Structures are given as structure tokens and as C-alpha cells.
A = this chain, B = another copy of it.
Amino acid sequence: MMNSGFIVPRLSFIIRMKALYFDGQLGLRDVETPRPGPDEALIQVVLAGICGTDLQILNGYSSFRGIPGHEFVGRVVECQNTKWIDKRVVGEINISCGECEFCLWGLGRHCSQRTVMGIVNRDGAFAEFTVLPVFNLHEIPDSIPDEAAVFVEPLAAAAEILEQVTIRPRMRVAVLGDGRLGLLVAQVLHQERAQVMLLGRHPWKLDLAHSWGINVSGLGDEHLTKRNFPMVVEATGSPAGLEEAFRLVEPRGTIIMKSTFHRPAQFDTARLVVDEINLLGSRCGAFGRAIGLLEQGRVKVDQLVSRTFPLEEGLAAFDFVKKTSPLKVLLQVAPA
């Protein structure tokens, strides 16, 4: 293969593709295949995951219009830098300016000029092809199958907590919410040897966490001592979770907030001030650590897939997520 700097034309004959498109309604459409710019790659999506944020986008979050989807694994099919061709990749979802203070600190995910794949002003991965800057790509080692690699983005969000606070071995941490994110957060903290208590409302999800050696209990369990956790992670997706977090956190403790609610939350500021609580927002994380956790087998994701739909049945997949509160639902876009 020539490494001449010219665009490799392998798949440029594919000019139309199938995609889920949101313009107030989600629908399957036949759209133009995107073209990669000079520093970008065209990626054939293999698997994509449906995330809580995708559901919120359908409810109006970030006023997004276009192709949603930001959890994916795929294969590079076109790129000026030919060393990427055919590589199996995942991609960081914030596309930043590369020049501001945050970008220079390596925190491009806080760049004020950023677009966000499938969330803010940029098409995402619920499509046969997607485009990302080469800068955003991470190659996936052969030891990680597609079904695990598609978890790199949400696992990085869970592991972001480790970039923000120090987890001491045997530290008592309550994780609120037994959904996809809560189960990943609980595992990430458990493998750091924190003493994790996962609180949820779904016995079968709690049983799963219990099988990994994580302590579990019902959300709102009155038997749990109040103000007894130095750290609480709120991942319920509901403002009620924040109240429960305040009930459980000890004075001078930290509440890490993972949920983005679509409406404002109220809280008792007197409790925050008098008990000197630290309320810390936490979002996306760096992918390197997440890939490492999967490679080393320190986090299990194979039991987290509830069902896989073909892209063409994307609307049915979203219905399934809304109606059955499953764990992760995937879209199979291309054959593995």
C-alpha cells in the first residue's frame, strides 16, 4: 500500500449509508456518508451502545439534531495517515480546539469550543460510518473483543472518579443506582479495594454485583446508618438520588455526582455548609485507563449486555431500553 499522503480511496464508492437520525423524532434514514478531513478518519462502526444520555437527547437534552451515539467500536477504513487503516478503534467523544488552556492541560473534554460526538453539534455513531479526528482514536488490543471494547467510553466515565479523588483501600463508598453506570462505577471502585456498597432497586442487577463480591442493598434502605459514608457516588439518574446521597454522606464527606438531570435539583444548602460536604460533578474520562482495566480483566462487562439489535431495528432497541430498564443494549452495525 502506498503511504503517499493522498487519501486512500478504498471505500469512497460508498456515498450513502444507513443511520439513526434525530430531528425531534428518531428515525432510520438513508443519509450521505461523511467525508473525513485531513486529520480525520472514516470509521466503519461495528458495535454501538445506547446510553442514558441518548435517551435524554430524545427528550431534548442539549437540543441535539443529527445522528446520536457516542459509544462505539469500529474499524478505520479511510485516513490520510495510512497507519490507521484497518485498525480496530474506539474514540474519545469530545472534539476540542487543541489550543486553549484546557486543551493544553490535556483536558480537551472541557474545551469551550468543543463539539461532542452524537451530543453537541456533531454526528455520532448510530450509523454505518462515522468520522473522528485521528487525535481522538485509541487502538483496541486484540485481547479485547468488540463486545467489551464498546464499553470503553462508559467505563472511562466511571474511571474518571479515580482522576478526581483519592480512593483509599477499605474506604467505605456507597454507589447509588444499579444501572449500567452504577455497575461500572461499583466495579472500578471495588478493584481499587474500596469497600463498596451498591444501592439499587433491581434485585437481578444487585445479584450480579453481588456475584462480583460487591456488597449490595436496597436504595432507600432505612437500616443503613445515616451519615456514615465518607464517599457517595450518585448514579441514579434521578434528583431523589441526590437526597439519598446527602442522607448517607458523613460530615466532611464527598458526593460524586454522575447523573445529569434534565430538570434543576433542589438541595439543602445548610446541610452542605454545616457538614462541609464536597459535591463534585464528574463526567467523561480518559480512555487509556479504561482500556487498561479491560485488558487486565479488572472490570467485567460481558454480563452487562442485555440485548443486541441490528442497526435497522434501532427504534425497537430504543423502545426496549425505555420499557424494560435493561442493562446495556447494543446496536450491531457491521459484522464483527
Contacts and interface: CB of A to CB of B under 8 A. Distances in A.
Contacts of A242: 269
Contacts of A271: 281
Contact of A279 (B107, B164, B266, B279): B279
Given A251-B110, A264-B267, A266-B265, A272 B276 contact: no
Contacts of A164: 276
Contact of A102 (B102, B251, B278): B251
Q: Is the interface of A mostly helix, strand, loop or mixed?
A: mixed
Given A110-B252, A112-B227, A252-B110, A269 B276 contact: no
Interface stretch (A8-16, A186-194, A255-263): A255-263
29 contacts: A102-B252, A107-B251, A110-B275, A239-B269, A242-B269, A257-B269, A257-B273, A258-B273, A260-B269, A260-B274, A261-B269, A261-B270, A264-B269, A265-B266, A266-B266, A267-B267, A269-B281, A272-B279, A273-B281, A274-B281, A274-B283, A276-B280, A276-B282, A276-B283, A277-B280, A278-B278, A278-B279, A278-B281, A279-B280
Q: Which 10 A-B pairs have the closest CB atoms?
A: A110-B251, A272-B281, A273-B281, A279-B279, A260-B270, A264-B266, A265-B269, A276-B281, A260-B273, A278-B280
